[in-house]
Structure 1
Amino acid sequence: MAPSEFKPVYHPAGHDHDLRTALQDLRTGRWLSMRDLLESTPDWSAWTRRTQVLAAVAAGSDAVQAWQAEEPRSVAATVMHARVVVERAVRARREKHARAQELWQQAWEGCRAAAHASPADPVPWVCLLALSQLDERQRLEEHRLPPPGPMLFPGPWGLLAEADRRDPFNREAYHRMLQFVYARQTGRNLSEAVDFVQWAASSAPEGSPLHALPLYVRVERYRHEQGNEKALDLHWVTEDGERDARRALHIWFAHTDPATQSLLDLNHLAHALWGSLQFVDAAPVFRALGPYYTSVPWAYRNRHPRDPAGAEDVFLRARSRCLTADVSPGRGPRG
């Protein structure tokens, strides 16, 4: 397919076609495909990712409530209930809804019920980490525990440890912790975020998506500075920027199956390699994405970040540049 004919698409399921089918049914209020999908989910990593994506859709319906009514002893339904009420609580706080505090309490109780029903499951603890970002002033004691290392901050380290104990280096757990850092009202959020992601990546094994965490903070730093495209370039064409991109490529991407990975992680890596002018190295990441993309972080390259067409245009230009650079003698681009 010629680059001019390529049209990227966004779908929360990405390469997970079984999840795509469950989402289609869920949007019409049917929950059986969701139940069957979760029963066949092979590991905690996929379980965490699938329950998160499903909850984003289920939060707008009563499908999980109907599932629980039909199968009150279902552990998966109890976990999905926790996912849904946490999603609603986070949205309510973001939108300054009058019921935000009430929804937060329901979510907290839902998480505790899920942790009791599924004691080996990391998701209830990931959900509690998601709720921690709503406690910006760290009023709850569990949100201001001493850190496990120097240069870190008081926070919900006990919740992270519980998730880690059940699924070491769980991707969403560490991203939720990063969201907590951003929500803290300290004035040092970005420097604390840098310290946190470097600490997390330093202990993560090969193939762990935590090696992509520093790429998120670099983009967030630019977003806070409200710079222009040229300013964002300068965040990457530096020794540190190039190093972060290379480490994510060689320590994470090269040791994993991209089809099982987060589209956001792949897009951040492709963006980082392109931004640091490592075009040939970026090409296999773009190919791993296949037909999919996410608007973030490409939207921040556009003058109007809320314009999805602008984000898509930046993505297409970057993809074309990198695939064109990856040309073997006598052969055309392989994408």
Structure 2
Amino acid sequence: MAPAEFRPVYHPAGHDHGLRGALQELRTGRWLSMRDLLESTPDWALWTQRTQVLATAAAGSDAVDAWQAEEPLSVAAIIMHARVLVERAVRAHREGHSRARELWQEAWEGCRSAAHATPPDPVPWICLLALAQLDERQRLQEHRLPPPGPMLFPGPWGLLAEADKRDPYNRETYHRMLQFVYARRAGGTLSEAVDFAQWAASSAPDGSPLHVLPLYVRVERYRREHGHEKALDLHWVTEDGERDAQRALHRWFHRTEPAARSLLDLNHLAHALWGSLQFTDAAPVFRALGPYYTSVPWAYRTRTPDDPAGAEEVFLRARSRCLTAACTPARGPHG
């Protein structure tokens, strides 16, 4: 396909073909493919990712309830039930629904039950971290524990530790903690988010998606400062911006298998390398995306962030610029 004809698509499953099939069946109210997929999922990282995506699709239906009624002893069904309860509670809180507090309590109880039913699983603890962002004033004791290091904030560190103990450096665990930082009424400052992301990335091993976490904070700062009204500006072309992008490239992208890469992480890395004018380095990241993209963070580079067409246009422009740079021979000092 010629570059001018390329049009990216968004799909929550991305390159995970098994997940795509399960989602397709789930949208028709059927749960057998979801069960079979989860029972064959080989590791915690993929398990976490798949249950999260499936819960987003299942929250508006009774498919998981039907599954649990049919197979009440299924560990996967118990986990998915907790996932769906959390997704509904978070949505209700965001929309200011009258039942938001009731759904929050129901989800909290579902997470505790799931943690009891399957002690090795990190997902119930990740779900409790997701619920922690609803406690904006940190009224619950478990949401204001002392931090494990300087420059950090009181928060649900016990929940993070429980998830971390079961699957160290799990991607969703740390993203949920970052969401908690943004939701804090007592603080929630971007400096806290920067400190947390740098702290998490500094201790992460090579290949960990936590090396991409600082790029998310940089995008959030850009969004809050309404930087989308500018093009390639000094927000990105800075020494620390270039350093964060290079660290994610070398310590995550170059050290992970393609199947283990999140579409969102790939988009944030491609965006950071393009924004910091590192076009040649960005090219393999764009190639790794294949036909897929996500509207975030590209949407924040437009004047209308809610318009997906604008995000696609910025993505295509950045992709073309970087792939062209990678195909252009380097010139010597005399041209």
Which residue is equivalent to 1:305? 305
Does residue 90 of the first structure (1) align with residue 90 of the second (2)? yes
| 3-state secondary structure, aligned to 1:236 | coil
How far residue 329 of structure 1 moved from its aligned partner, in angstroms, is: 4.7
Which residue is equivalent to 1:333? none
How far residue 185 of structure 1 moved from its aligned partner, in angstroms, is: 1.1
Q: Choose 250-259 or 13-22, whichever is displaced more.
A: 250-259
Which residue is equivalent to 2:115? 115
How far residue 231 of structure 1 moved from its aligned partner, in angstroms, is: 6.8
Which residue is equivalent to 2:250? 250
Supply the AA of the counterpart residue of 1:162.
Answer: E
Give the 3 Å change call, closer, same or farther, for CA 139–293 of structure 1 in structure 2. same
Give the 3 Å change call, closer, same or farther, for CA 128–196 of structure 1 in structure 2. same
Structure 2: distance between partners of 1:170 and 1:188: 22
Q: Choose 207-216 or 252-261, whichever is displaced more.
A: 252-261
| 3-state secondary structure, aligned to 2:25 | helix
Q: Contact conserved, 1:222 with 1:231, CA < 8 A, in 2?
A: no
Q: Choose 188-197 or 12-21, whichever is displaced more.
A: 188-197
Structure 2: distance between partners of 1:161 and 1:45: 16
How far residue 2 of structure 1 moved from its aligned partner, in angstroms, is: 1.4
Does residue 131 of the first structure (1) align with residue 142 of the second (2)? no
Which residue is equivalent to 2:64? 64
| 3-state secondary structure, aligned to 1:317 | helix
Which residue is equivalent to 1:23? 23
Q: Contact conserved, 2:231 with 2:301, CA < 8 A, in 1?
A: no
Structure 2: distance between partners of 1:47 and 1:232: 37
Structure 2: distance between partners of 1:197 and 1:172: 13
Which residue is equivalent to 1:286? 286
Supply the AA of the counterpart residue of 1:175.
Answer: H
Which residue is equivalent to 1:236? 236
Q: Is there any run of 5+ residues in structure 1 with no aligned partner, and where?
A: 331-335
Per-residue CA deviation, residues 26-72 of structure 1 (Å, 9 max, x unaligned), is 00000000000000000000000000000000001000000000001
Per-residue CA deviation, residues 273-292 of structure 1 (Å, 9 max, x unaligned), is 00000000000000000000
Q: Is there any run of 5+ residues in structure 2 with no aligned partner, and where?
A: 331-335
Identity %: 83
Q: Contact conserved, 1:15 with 1:260, CA < 8 A, in 2?
A: no
Q: Which runs of 4+ in 1 moved over 4 A?
A: none
Which residue is equivalent to 2:333? none
Which residue is equivalent to 1:325? 325
How far residue 327 of structure 1 moved from its aligned partner, in angstroms, is: 1.1
Root-mean-square deviation (CA), in Å?
A: 1.2
Which residue is equivalent to 2:220? 220
Structure 2: distance between partners of 1:260 and 1:148: 28
Supply the AA of the counterpart residue of 1:304.
Answer: T
How far residue 76 of structure 1 moved from its aligned partner, in angstroms, is: 0.6
Q: Contact conserved, 1:145 with 1:156, CA < 8 A, in 2?
A: yes
Which residue is equivalent to 2:146? 146
TM-score by length of 1: 0.97
Per-residue CA deviation, residues 288-308 of structure 1 (Å, 9 max, x unaligned), is 000000000000001000000
Structure 2: distance between partners of 1:181 and 1:232: 28
Structure 1: distance between partners of 2:253 and 2:66: 40
Structure 2: distance between partners of 1:261 and 1:204: 16
Supply the AA of the counterpart residue of 2:200.
Answer: A
Supply the AA of the counterpart residue of 1:28.
Answer: T
Q: Contact conserved, 2:227 with 2:301, CA < 8 A, in 1?
A: no
Which residue is equivalent to 1:178? 178
Structure 1: distance between partners of 2:211 and 2:174: 11
Supply the AA of the counterpart residue of 2:246.
Answer: R
Q: Contact conserved, 1:222 with 1:232, CA < 8 A, in 2?
A: no
How far residue 174 of structure 1 moved from its aligned partner, in angstroms, is: 0.1
Structure 2: distance between partners of 1:223 and 1:91: 22
Q: Contact conserved, 1:143 with 1:157, CA < 8 A, in 2?
A: yes
Which residue is equivalent to 1:267? 267
Q: Contact conserved, 1:259 with 1:288, CA < 8 A, in 2?
A: no
Q: Contact conserved, 1:16 with 1:260, CA < 8 A, in 2?
A: no
Structure 1: distance between partners of 2:190 and 2:315: 26
TM-score by length of 2: 0.97
Structure 1: distance between partners of 2:115 and 2:298: 37
- Matched residue count: 330
Supply the AA of the counterpart residue of 1:143.
Answer: H
Structure 2: distance between partners of 1:328 and 1:184: 47
Structure 2: distance between partners of 1:187 and 1:148: 17
Q: Contact conserved, 2:232 with 2:276, CA < 8 A, in 1?
A: no
Give the 3 Å change call, closer, same or farther, for CA 68–228 of structure 1 in structure 2. closer
Give the 3 Å change call, closer, same or farther, for CA 95–230 of structure 1 in structure 2. same
Structure 2: distance between partners of 1:50 and 1:89: 19
Structure 1: distance between partners of 2:269 and 2:227: 20
